[in-house]
Amino acid sequence: MLLLLLALLGPPAPKYPADAIAPALRENAHAVVRAYDKVVVVRSASQLVETVHTAITILDPAGSDEHGQLVVYYDALRRISYLRGAVYDAQGHLLHQLRPAEVRDQGLGSAGGSLMTDVRVRYADLRQPATPYTVEFDYEVVSDNTLFFPDFQPQSAENVSLEGATLRVTTPTALPLRYGEQLLPAGAASAPAVAGALTTYRWTLPAHPAVDEEPFAPPLETLLPAVRLAPATFEVQGHAGSLASWQSLGQWSYQLGQGRDALPPALTARMAQLLIEAPDPRARARKVYEFLQSSTRYVSVQLGLGGWQTAPAMAVVSGGYGDCKALSNYTRALLAAAGLPAHVALVGAGADEADVRADFPSSQFNHAILCLPLAARGSVPADTVWLECTSQTEAFGYMGSFTGNRHALLLTPSGGRLVATPRYGAAANRQQRRTELWLDGAGGAKASVRTQRVGLAQDTYAQLLTGADADEQRKYVAARLPVAHCTITALRLAAASPGGPQALPGVVETLGLELPGVATAAGSRLLIEPNVLGRLAALPAQVGARTAPLALPAPALTQDTVRLHLPAGFRPETLPAPTQLTSAYGTYSSTCTALPDGTIQYVRQLETRRPTLVLPAEKYAEYKEFRRKVNQADHAQIVLGKL
């Protein structure tokens, strides 16, 4: 009877046929989000349920790896109720229904430096060899951690378009929802609907074309429609808090760590002795930091509330390790024993991490650091020292690109306060290179190069110095040389001497090179561009009208001096004229001089600026023109003739 009924009903109707996608949504798209429907139900101040339905058509192989799979995270405070999936062919016919046995479940183990973590993932793979095809997933997550509400951003990658999406949030009226809307089209939000003791919020996003990657664009998450969600009040494992303000969030975080800063009496006495040995507060803080670095190591511990509550300082003493919260709390206790009050601060860490959305108090942080205010003393002005407590090698007081140039949430007894971490300008992001270049009569050359990088410019090289072997260092340096077919004959990296109490860290790179064909023969002459290693690339022309704002790199200062030793029998015929460029985006100068000893010296300096963090899209043409002029000047030639 069932078979007869199925026969009468016929095959199921196709779902998500690829030919139903509008041409405008196919343009520049590797994949199309056919549906993205999220439902969030707040059950109480301590629990919410997130239900998600997605359907994505993969148009070509470039979209397959990212969008043909699904990863859902869970842990002790988040559990997955179900995960279902299916895949359809180009016509919308069912190819395969995801079976429970095909869903992989695995822990993260020690990935990313974690020793102990309860985070696990469920992973489903429905990728197909032939495109187009459509994957459909449904899953539900129950969370007992309401500090974090799920966000809603259906379009989250370049070259992905959207057919439509919906968000519905239902919460007890007594637990009002906080939300922030970003770039939503008119009419996307519906008025909240109250029914009894519940309030429901709804958003509907219409079709949106794919976004192309554009040079120097801000993070994509800031450029596409989104709704950020957060509670007014929350609870995590019995610890209730408020997100009404940064002050209240900081107060909750501060209270989690109270009573966890006790040290053994012997260690307290050892730190107190520094008051006598190092009466200068900065010198004393440096000694405490050096003790921390020599006696502890970083290990991430993420278990339940441990993701936000620090381990006791006593645990760091006994184990010799801790995560960012524990090590920052431990260092704060050491400093307090040495007569130096400090504060833990929460920060969004990462070289490419966007700054916090200051107008939307919520948990936007992934790291903890330490802030040490130093009071004015006589002629010594007040100062603030920031400490990265997880590194055994970082310079005292240096934040770098990992946590500098952004805001952090300072945790104080009176609550939280957003403050700026150190701001690094061009002088704190500088590179000075000196090159001795010995040219032969055939156009080849040997070079001895010494480059000192300071501040932000040395961040990656400092990591190479401490965390990479010689082969890895050589590969990294070789990949970034702007000269084809050159050979590295020698390479050495070394930490630069600090050179003062507040000096920035540096790395010195000493390099030997063989450069065949660095000069071009033109009859009896040799043509050579003296700026062998310091050229700034021009930018590609903008295809079509630019849509993304312009987010320029951090200001920087680069200085190059090249001493060119001529081959026997050659003399300079033509030297490049001095060049001076001035723009809102930087200043440039170069000179080329014949010296009395028969060598030629080329000196070039470029200081780049960033007028504001984000510039309007139409400024790209101006910036591109500045880069074009710099690139043109960088390719200036010397003409050498035979005697």
> Quick check: 105 and 80 in contact, CB under 8 A?
no
CA 643 vs CA 374, 566, 567, 571: distances in Å: 65, 12, 11, 6
Nearest-angstrom CA–CA distance, 422 and 402: 11
Question: What is the Cα gyration radius of the chain?
Answer: 30
| Residue with token string 């790896």 | 65
Nearest-angstrom CA–CA distance, 255 and 308: 11
Contacts of 237 (CB under 8 A, 6+ apart): 77, 144, 304, 305
Cis before 17 (ω within 30): no
Nearest to 286 by CA among 396, 129, 410: 396
Amino acid symbol at 543: V
pLDDT at position 303: 63
Residues of the chain scoring pLDDT < 70: 1-10, 109-116, 302-306, 498-502
SS3 category, 9: helix
pLDDT at position 109: 58
Residue 58 C-alpha from the chain's centroid: 27
Cis before 381 (ω within 30): no
pLDDT at position 112: 47
Nearest to 281 by CA among 209, 206, 346, 338: 338
Nearest-angstrom CA–CA distance, 386 and 371: 5
Output b/e per residue, 247-263; b: 16+ Cβ within 10 A.
Answer: bbbbbbbbebbeebbeb
Nearest-angstrom CA–CA distance, 167 and 241: 25
Nearest-angstrom CA–CA distance, 510 and 491: 6
What domains, with CATH codes, occur in the chain? 15-235 (2.60.40.3140), 246-420 (3.10.620.30), 426-642 (2.60.120.1130)
Backbone region of residue 150 per phi and psi (left: phi > 0; alpha: psi in -120 to 50; beta: other values): beta
Angle at 458 between CA 453 and CA 459, to 5 degrees: 175
**What are the tens digits of pLDDT across the range 62-105?**
999 999 999 999 998 999 999 999 999 999 999 999 999 999 99
**What are the tens digits of pLDDT across the range 126-184?**
999 999 999 999 999 999 999 999 999 999 899 999 999 999 999 999 999 999 999 99
pLDDT at position 568: 94
Contacts of 69 (CB under 8 A, 6+ apart): 123, 124, 125, 126, 127
Helix ranges restricted to H, 90-135: none
SS3 category, 595: coil
